[in-house]
Amino acid sequence: MSDPIETVEGWYALHDFRQIDRPAWANLTANERDAAISELQALAEDWQETEDNHEGSTGIYQIIGHKADLLFVNMRPAMDDLASIELAVDQSTAGQVLRRPYSYFSVVELSKYLVKSSQPFTELPGVKERLFPILPKTHYICFYPMNKRREGNDNWYSLSREQRREIMKGHGIIGHRYADRVTQIITGSQGLDDWEWGVTLYSDDTLDFKKLIYEMRFDEASARFAEFGPFMVGRRLAPGRLGPIFG
């Protein structure tokens, strides 16, 4: 009966949310604060170099609200790379004041719901760029995890492949309408983290996040089948701008 759609995976992603422990920061000496920021900047430069070498991608953001202060997003070929990056932050001087309120581990995923080509999938135009994406440099980011519902009559995983394809088509149409304003990266996390997917949106206007999500919610894919985790919104920090967040 089980009739899953094939998926293709790319880079692994770690969304690493951090909170600055303000009293602990205030208790550091001036030297320790300088070390904390310069070590973190050095890590950020390493990450950028990896991106420049097309061996991964990276983004640093200030998150609004109480849920986090900072977000480091890194994409790499293997989970080991991401575990090492997380550990490097924790073991740096800044690691003494950077709490970890949330994180998300997932892998870039493309599903073949709407593919009909006979060509090998990964050779289709644009597929490699989507599997191994350079994170957009837009001003804003929005991240949220989600599930497909499995409740009573609203059980996504009991639908036929054809029913799912039909529903996803409607969903895709809305996404396409926003395509020139919002870049969307879907990462799969079944077996990797607590929700089934992570959604990372990039735009130069936070209103696009609201409009897109609002419109999609009336679509059957969301109305009947989507369950959402926390939403985190941030603004991109240009290289070298980490210091002002610590203050």
Restricting to residues 180-239, name those near a copy of itself by CB under 8 A.
188-194, 196, 201, 206-207, 209-220, 222-224, 228, 230-231, 233, 235
Q: Are 107 and 187 in contact (CB under 8 A)?
A: yes
The distance of closest approach from Cβ of residue 140 to a copy of itself in the complex, given in angstroms and rounded to an integer, is: 7
174, 216 Cβ separation under 8 angstroms: yes
Map residues 9-28 to x or -, x wherever contact with a copy of itself holds by CB under 8 A: x--x-x-xx--xxxxx-x--
Among residues 226, 164, 171, the alpha carbon closest in space to that of 196 is found at 226
Least distance in angstroms from the C-beta of 119 to a copy of itself:
22
- Asked about 144 being catalytic, the answer comes back as yes
Q: Among 167, 141, 142, which residue's Cα sits nearest to residue 226?
A: 167
Closer to a copy of itself by CB, 52 or 176: give it.
176
What are the structure tokens assigned to 241, written together? 């701008």
Using alpha carbons, list the distances in angstroms from residue 47 to 54, 59, 157, 210.
11, 9, 38, 30
Minimum CB separation of residue 154 from a copy of itself in Å reads: 7
DSSP 8-class letter at 204 = S
Near a copy of itself in 94-133, by CB under 8 A: 95-97, 100-105, 107
Residues 6+ apart with CB under 8 A from 9: 107, 108, 109, 110, 131, 188
Residues of span 41-100 touching a copy of itself by CB under 8 A: 62, 64-67, 69, 78-80, 82-83, 86-87, 90-91, 95-97, 100
CB of residue 160 to a copy of itself, shortest distance in Å: 10
Which residue, 66 or 176, is less far from a copy of itself as judged by CB? 66
Select 120 or 191, whichever has its Cβ closest to a copy of itself: 191
Interface residue with a copy of itself among 39, 154, 181, 183 (CB under 8 A) is: 154
Whether 48 contacts 58, CB under 8 Å:
yes
The active-site residue, picked from 102, 144, 178, 202, is 144
Q: Total number of residues binding a copy of itself (CB under 8 A)?
A: 86
CA atoms within 13 A on the CB side of 26: 3
The distance of closest approach from Cβ of residue 192 to a copy of itself in the complex, given in angstroms and rounded to an integer, is 6
Q: Rounded to whole angstroms, what are the CA distances from 19 to 15, 36, 98, 101?
A: 13, 14, 5, 7
CB nearer to a copy of itself: pick between 133 and 145: 145
Site for a copy of itself in 164-183 (CB under 8 A): 170, 174
3-state DSSP assignment of residue 90: helix
Residue 52 or residue 157: which is nearer to a copy of itself going by CB? 157
- Among candidates 40, 64, 14, 1, which has minimal Cα distance to 192? 14
Tokens of 56: 């991964």
- Please give the positions annotated as active site: 144
